[in-house]
A and B are shown apart, each in its own frame.
Chain A
C-alpha cells in the first residue's frame, strides 16, 4: 500500500452518515447520491473535492446509520484516505472494507483546510507538506492490513476463495 498525497478537507466533530449519504437519494445511482455528500454541512464539498483528496475530521466521524453508501460516496468522489480523531464503529469498518485507509489521527485540529498531506497508512506517517510538520500515529490494525492491502473485503474474499479457505 503506497503513500497517498492530497489536499485536506477539514470537518468538525460528529459528522454522521446521513450527512454523507442522505436517505432522500437512496434509490438514485451513486453519481447522484455523491453530489449530495456532506451538503448539509458543506454545500461546496462534492463540487470541489478532487481525486486523491483527504478527509480530516474531528471526533466520532461517521456516527449513526450503517449505510455503506457513506464511505462509497466519499470513495466515488475520489477520497483516498480518511484521518479522524475517532470514528463511528460501523463507518470505520465499512471504510476499511472498501479499501479506504481510515486512520485514527488525534492531532486533526492542527491540519488546516487545503493543506497538502502525505499519508503512509501502513506506517501511520502523516506529513503536512504545507505546514512542514510530521506526525506518527498508529498504522492500520494488524488483523486488517492484508484485507485493506488487497483493496477491501471483496478482493480479499476473492483471494480467500481462490485459496480454498472459504
Chain B
C-alpha cells in the first residue's frame, strides 16, 4: 500500500504498520518543545495538581522567547519560573534567552527525518522542514504530552504542493506562502501540506522552514519537506549526526495525495497580505499607495540570517525614509553573531534600522515594537490579525523581508525590485 510521508511517520509513532487518513491514532512523542509562553508557567501548576513529574526530561527542549527580555515584574516572574522548572526537572536542553524556540531547535539540529514532535505553539510546524512530523498544540494538551509521552492524532490527508523553476530577483519563500494562503485558503484542518519540486530542493533550510512554519497560517495539521542532502548537511552543521535511515523518510512514488498543485516560481511576483488575514494577499502592485509608520523584521518566520541578508540587499547604501521606523529583532543570538561577523548588521544600522533584542517581540504584542491606534505596519511576521501587534485599530501588512525593507526606504509599500537592479 502506497502512503505519504506524513502517514509513514504517524504509523511509526503509533506502532502500526500502516495508518490511513481519517483514522485517530495514539502516537508516542519523540520530542516536545516547550516555550516560556505556554510552557512551565501553565504546565507546572498542573503537574503539581496531578502530583506527577515529566515523562522524559531528555525528550523535552525548553526555550524562553515570548517574554524575553523581561520588561516588567510579570515577565521577569515568568522567566524565573521557567528557569526553576528546567532545574527542578533536569531539562538539560534548556535555551534561555538564546532566540526564538523554533529557530533554536533548528540551529541545534535536534530534529531528524521521521521524528514525531509536538510543540506548545502553533508555529511548531516550522520543524517539518527537517522531514519530521511536527505540529503545534495548546498548553493544556502539552501538559498531557509531558505527563504521558503520548497524544492522539488524526491521520491527515496530504496535499502536495510543487514549485518549479527559479525565483526572479526580489522574490522569496515568504511570497510563496502569502500566495498559497489565498490559493489554498486558511481552512486545512485534517490536512498535511507536503512541499516539493526543484524550487524547494534548491532552497536552503532557512527558506524551507518558511514553507512549513506558515502551514500554520494555512490551518493545516503540519507542513513537511522530504529530506535530502541539504537537510542532512544542516543537521551535521549543527553538530548532530543524521540517522542512517534519514533519506528513507519519503512519500511513496504513487502516494495517495488528496490533491497535487503545480506552480511556477519564475511567474511569482512579490506578495503582500492586507489586514486582517494572511489570506488577503495579492501581488504587490495592488498596495503601492499605502503609507507605512513602521516596518518590522522579526519572528520565527522572518528574522533568520537569510532574512537579514534580504533586508541588507535592499538597504545597502540607502537610508530609511523620514517618518518611517525600521525595527529589526533578529531571530536568535546565533543570527546576531553571524550577521555581525559578515557585516550585515552594519548595513542595517547604517541605513537607520533600530535593532531590538532577539525574541518573539512585537509579532504577538508581547515585546518591544507594538503599534499605537491607527498606525500602519508592514511586517515580515506570519500573522496580521486585528490587534495582533498592539492597538485594535492598527493595520498590519505581511510581506517578505525584501518587501518590508523596500517599504522602509520608500515610506510606503514599494516594489523591492526597484532597489535590486
Residue-wise, chain A 18-56 has the 8 Å CB interface mask toward B (1 for contact) of 110011101100000000000111000000000000000
By the criterion CB–CB under 8 Å, are B42 and A68 in contact?
yes
Given the known interface contacts A23-B366, A98-B140, the answer about A18 and B383 at a Cβ–Cβ threshold of 8 Å is: yes
By the criterion CB–CB under 8 Å, are B365 and A90 in contact?
no
Give the distance in Å from the alpha carbon of A63 to the alpha carbon of B50 in the complex.
30
**Measured between C-beta atoms, what is the minimum distance from A104 to chain B in Å?**
10
Given the known interface contacts A97-B140, A166-B52, the answer about A64 and B385 at a Cβ–Cβ threshold of 8 Å is: yes
By the criterion CB–CB under 8 Å, are B392 and A39 in contact?
yes
Give the distance in Å from the alpha carbon of A60 to the alpha carbon of B366 in the complex.
25
Question: CB < 8 Å: which of B51, B138, B383 contacts A90?
Answer: B138
Given the known interface contacts A41-B386, A63-B219, A166-B147, the answer about A88 and B138 at a Cβ–Cβ threshold of 8 Å is: no
Give the distance in Å from the alpha carbon of A153 to the alpha carbon of B47 in the complex.
12
Which residues of B are found within 8 Å of A14, using beta-carbon distances? 186, 277
Give the distance in Å from the alpha carbon of A23 to the alpha carbon of B362 in the complex.
10
* Interface residues of B, dominant DSSP: loop
By the criterion CB–CB under 8 Å, are A68 and B219 in contact?
no
**CB < 8 Å A-B pair total:** 122
**Measured between C-beta atoms, what is the minimum distance from B352 to chain A in Å?**
28
Which residues of A are found within 8 Å of B122, using beta-carbon distances? 64-66, 90
Residue among B143, B189, B370 with max Cβ neighbours from chain A (10 Å): B189
Residue B37 at the chain A interface, CB threshold 8 Å: yes
Which residues of B are found within 8 Å of A98, using beta-carbon distances? 140
By the criterion CB–CB under 8 Å, are A23 and B140 in contact?
no
Give the distance in Å from the alpha carbon of A22 to the alpha carbon of B366 in the complex.
10
Given the known interface contacts A22-B387, A64-B383, A166-B147, the answer about A86 and B187 at a Cβ–Cβ threshold of 8 Å is: yes
Total A residues in contact with B, Cβ cutoff 8 Å: 40
Residue-wise, chain B 60-97 has the 8 Å CB interface mask toward A (1 for contact) of 00000011000010110010000000000000000000
**Measured between C-beta atoms, what is the minimum distance from B124 to chain A in Å?**
8
Give the distance in Å from the alpha carbon of A65 to the alpha carbon of B360 in the complex.
13
By the criterion CB–CB under 8 Å, are B120 and A66 in contact?
yes
Give the distance in Å from the alpha carbon of A111 to the alpha carbon of B261 in the complex.
37
Residue B245 at the chain A interface, CB threshold 8 Å: no
Residue A133 at the chain B interface, CB threshold 8 Å: no
Residue among B186, B190, B383 with max Cβ neighbours from chain A (10 Å): B186
Give the distance in Å from the alpha carbon of A164 to the alpha carbon of B102 in the complex.
35
